[in-house]
Structure 1
Amino acid sequence: MAHRIDYGRLVAGGIGLVVLGMFVVGYGIVVWHSPTSCGGATMSAGDRCAVTEVDGKHRESLLNESTYATQTIPLPDGNDWDTLKPRDKIHTTTVWDTILDAKNARTFDEQRAATIGNARVMVVCGALTVALGATMAWWARRRRSA
């Protein structure tokens, strides 16, 4: 027994995909043009964004110089606590200098590039969804009228 295709539902599904794709494209454009943020806070040019993974969850924390520039910490020469011996020299550095050397602290430009990259993916996926929905609706209408 052959199944009958309901072309009306295919047209409705195609229109639904077009609407969904337009929302995704719109959201991607909004993200693309929004201020650069880190963990929900707006970043400035000199800030850093610490990117960590805690319990399998991606986390971002905004770090700014005004908070950490005055706090100092002791460090041995060579920054290696494991090889520290008596009478070795210890110097102090600011927490901010340590943050600047961290591998997981993104600069403003790196964070912006990551945000724009995500927005580009959203816009492209949304555009493909619109194209798929429009093609599906067009094809189903053509088949229904034939």
Structure 2
Amino acid sequence: TDAELVTALRAAGAVLLGKTVTTEFAYMQKSITRNPHNSAFSPGGSSSGSAAAVAAGHIDMAVGTQTGGSVIRPASYCQVHGFKPTRGTISRKGVLQTSQTLDQVGVFASTLDRLGQLAAVLTGQAELATASKNISDRPVKLLYLEGIYGERVENYDKNKLE
């Protein structure tokens, strides 16, 4: 039986090509996967096969799992776009579990557009990804400074952040 995320991908028209090599059970022996940019470098963690396949241009998008960095590290090491959403955003039903509280599904892609498409399908928000959105003229607040370190920031910089 397929995991729910595989069912969602197939329903959205995805062509699933297969599985990539991974570190066994996310923490056992090192995988045979190599970083496609330099075979002397690590491709990351347990979902490195997914990131390496995207980085090598074999596929445009891939899925992986993360217990302790297995999506974000391979994405960084292999220089692809990776996204590990908030816990519970993508169904884990049918996914091999190593830690009930830490395991999450994440995605990899060759471009941010493809990453967004894949994440939208897996989070059940595909309609929202293509709909027009009202975007505020106000910039997004990326940082909020408070306390001991905030006092070291010039007022000009604080105002820019608000």
TM value normalised by structure 1: 0.23
- Greater RCO structure (CA 8 Å; 6+ sep): 1
Q: Which has the larger radius of gyration?
A: 1
Compare the two structures and name the one with the higher helix fraction.
Answer: 1
More strand by share: 1
